[in-house]
């Protein structure tokens, strides 16, 4: 997707093995992430909800708005506020990331 301002976002299926670990606990692990590349931002991995231990996360009251992706909702862990976010109703251009979770800290695993 490109905009008049030169801002660009692409979303594509990834093949990386992505793992999220916090304080020694695996919060998420996926071999089927969506890879989002956005102008001026680091590459982000959006993980399917089935690959995230959502039972460990608590919904946060935080909401943010991105003019390119839509409104994000956040989840936290004790001592780690707003650790993960998702777009329940993303803009049409990035609809693939709907309900996928994105963490600030991820690692890719060499298999």
CATH domain 9-109 topology? 2.170.150
Burial class for 91, CB neighbours closer than 10 Å (0-12, 13-18, 19+): middle
Per-residue pLDDT tens digits for 71-104: 999 999 988 999 999 999 999 999 999 999 999 8
Does the pTM exceed 0.85?
yes
Domain spans in the chain, listed from the N-terminal domain onward: 9-109
Q: What is the dihedral of CA 54, 92, 42, 103, to 10 degrees?
A: -10
Contacts of 16 (CB under 8 A, 6+ apart): 31, 33, 35, 45, 108, 109
Q: Given this model, what pLDDT does residue 109 score?
A: 74
62 neighbors 86 (Cβ within 8 angstroms)? no
């Amino acid at each position: 997707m490109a905009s008049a301002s030169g801002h660009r976002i692409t979303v594509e299926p990834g093949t990386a093995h992505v793992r999220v670990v916090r304080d020694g606990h695996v919060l998420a692990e996926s071999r089927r992430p969506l890879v989002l590349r956005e102008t001026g931002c680091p590459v982000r991995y959006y993980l399917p909800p089935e690959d995230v231990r959502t039972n460990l996360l608590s919904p946060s009251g935080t909401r943010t708005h991105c003019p390119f992706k839509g409104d994000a909702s956040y989840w936290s862990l004790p001592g780690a506020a707003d650790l993960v976010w998702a777009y329940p109703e993303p803009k049409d251009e990035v609809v693939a990331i709907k309900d996928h979770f994105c963490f600030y800290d991820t690692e890719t695993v060499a298999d």
